[in-house]
Amino acid sequence: MKKLLFLILVAVSMASCKEDAVENQIDEIAAQTSATAQSGHGKIQLSCGAQSLSIEGECGGVTTMGELIIAVKDKIVPSRVFTISFNTDRFPDDGETYTIKKSDYTTEGKKPATDVYVGFSEVSPSNQMDWSSDDASGKITFETDGNEIKCTFKNIKLQPSEVYNKGELNQQASVSGSFNLYKD
């Protein structure tokens, strides 16, 4: 009986240590990530063949590991998200224009701060689809008014994921829309 009680205490202690390790990792990641914008709102429309998908909902920005990510998450389908990823942790200035590029994780060295990556995806158990920008997608410009950042864009061409997109969704798409968010 004493052996059983001892083994239970050891198991509880080990589980507690694992939880502490996980908690420490979460704290470490949180220290490197800072939410930098209050919520805004966005409305995005993707056209792919005869299909039309939309995102309407909360928009915000976050910096993590030296990069800014702006995201619009759909209020009805939370796994459906539009993102713009920057090569800098600085919010756009008024009139600043960025070149939309293909995401390239294998490129060595620092990418230009004027390049951004654009994506539209939904990855859930019932739906898996993803489109991302290429090097011929164009440019995107931001407007700022004090603390508020606005962006309107039209017909940005996105390429389908060979892994996720099936059938009619496995072709080039066009995304248009607008969003606003706040620096603080």
pLDDT digits (tens, 9 = 90+) for 7-58: 333 333 444 444 455 456 555 655 555 555 578 999 999 999 999 999 999 9
pTM summary value: 0.77
What is the Cα–Cα distance from 123 to 83, expressed in whole angstroms? 14
pLDDT for 84-99, tens place per residue? Answer: 999 999 999 999 999 9
Distance CA 131, CA 163 (A): 11
Distances 35 to 60, 68, 71, 176 between C-alpha atoms, Å: 9, 10, 12, 26
